[in-house]
Structure 1
Amino acid sequence: MIVKEAATGVLPMRKNKTWSKVWSFRHIYLFMLPAIVWYLVFCYYPMYGILIAFKDFKYNMGIVGSPWAGFRYFEQFLNDSSFYSVLYNTLSISALKLLFGFPAPLILALMLNAVMRNKIKRIFQTISYLPHFVSWVVVVTLMQKILSPNVGLINDIREKMGLDPIFFMGMTSLFYPLVIISDIWKGIGWGSIIYLAALTNIDPHLYEAAEMDGAGRWSTLFKITLPCLTPTIGILLIFSLSGILNAGFDQIWLMQTPATISVAEILDTYVLKTGIQQGQFAYSTAIGLFKSFISLLLIVAVNKISKKVSDVSLW
């Protein structure tokens, strides 16, 4: 069949038709070109460095010339005394963020959607969005200033009350609460945008019919609003569960102190310290690749489970 099509000139006609379509949409492809180049340079080209995880890397020999080490660095990490503590801290922080941080944008979106006056709604939306655009450097600096045992506002109030100052940022018992609270404060507004967009797609006739049937606000919420948001919640939950090993490098790195290192050391910070500070590039690359592989398995597994349970999936 292919030979006949080639002989009759069908394939050249198809190629010409394809190129004519590409040329007709050339402005769109040109618009996409910077993003494609960015991904090629910063996402795909660095994958070449993954080879370091399987090599006994030598500076003078380069990546290709260095001898193969096989899975030695993966075994070294699994047998490392820090493996369980680092993994436990990562999973603990991620699980707490998922437990408290995941429903927070949904709750905020439902609250904003219940506000009838558009002017007030826009004001609260703007206020909730602003923290997202503040870098973690600024956020953690503000926390350090407010919670400082010497000049912090909280400890100044405690001193006025006759209480002793507390080094909040240096207490292991307060590290996780501070991480969760600051993460919710910074991301709750931005995360609610998707839910607010999904809420606008709900057919208003459903609410009118429910009101005519005498349904109250809570009945409407659980019988109409949340079921209509189920696909959106499912997709975002899949992404959150697949990234459970991403505990938030910027935030944790800046909030770490020598006093809290036992509960604050996560995979990302451990990779940076072993790779950059200690110069163990092959070992740190192996740890990063291990984390990426587990994340890939998680997103495939969670997507498959979600598809069977609720028919919500990424593919």
Structure 2
Amino acid sequence: MMDPAIVVDKVVKRYVVKSGVFRRRTSVVEALKGISFTVDRGEVHALLGPNGAGKTTTVKILATLLLPDSGDAYILGHSVTKEADTVRKLVGVVLDVSRGFYPYLTGYENLMFYALLRGLSRREAKARVREVLELVGLRDAANRSYLSYSMGMRARLSIAKVLIDDPEVLLLDEPTLGLDVHSARFVRSLILDLAKRGKTILVTGHNMFEIEQIASKITVINRGQVVASDSPQSLREKIGLVHRVEINVHALERSDVEPLLTAISSRLKLEKSSVETIAENQYRIVLYVAGSREYISSNVFDVLRTYGIKVLDVKIIEPTLEDLYLALVR
């Protein structure tokens, strides 16, 4: 098994904060309180948490823009504190999609300028810039001024910029913030495509729907501490979030449905249950059950097979990533 691409090991970061106008007061804020987590190679890993939780501080430490007060972090085995120059060659970082470009240069000229600064020859730079513009879908807008770009186009150009060096690890801090629906969808698709190409991607964000679409693992930080780190499905099972189960059946009378509900209740620990009439001779059994999807479906279908009632439809609705997030940070 390969070593993780990113290792964060007991990282602590403190800030000195000064307040007051006439009487200056100094206090120390501990932004990160010894956090640890890992990111496997080739995965999209989401770093989640409320505002002020320490997400951006963590990304800046991994990008060698901040030094931790204690602990260390490693990118592909290289220490961010002791081998910062090596780490900078391995990572591409996007902290703000609206900064880092000259407004009156074209998208192509901005990338060429950056590529030449990074030491590519003019011939290499031209080829690489065309390649990344194609990858992020900006080939047709390459000769337009950056000033005319929409926020979505600027986000894509920011990702194109960090891809110039073809880094193995990408650190993306809220890459879809402020984007319209179409642009956000494109950026999500681009992130997944880059992961398929072997890139390791650590992404932060607040949109749980987006994160659920792209991330195979998540780490949740709250008040400077890691409160959970695993796949969303594993965390749902560990925390025991409730699934909603809907069973639509055909029966002559509502009373015909009650024995089925009783039998299911004897197999599963129900948080809540009810029977609804949805049409003539059609009823919906609604169950709220804690447990894995496999455990729930196995028991529900075992019971259904033993009863001579006509089943029209069965739905098992999993708790969302938003439900999971709120359970972890409340």
TM class, shorter-length? under 0.3
Q: TM-score, normalised by structure 2?
A: 0.20
Q: Which has the higher contact order (CA 8 A, sep 6+)?
A: 1
The structure where strand makes up a greater share of residues is 2
The structure where helix makes up a greater share of residues is 1
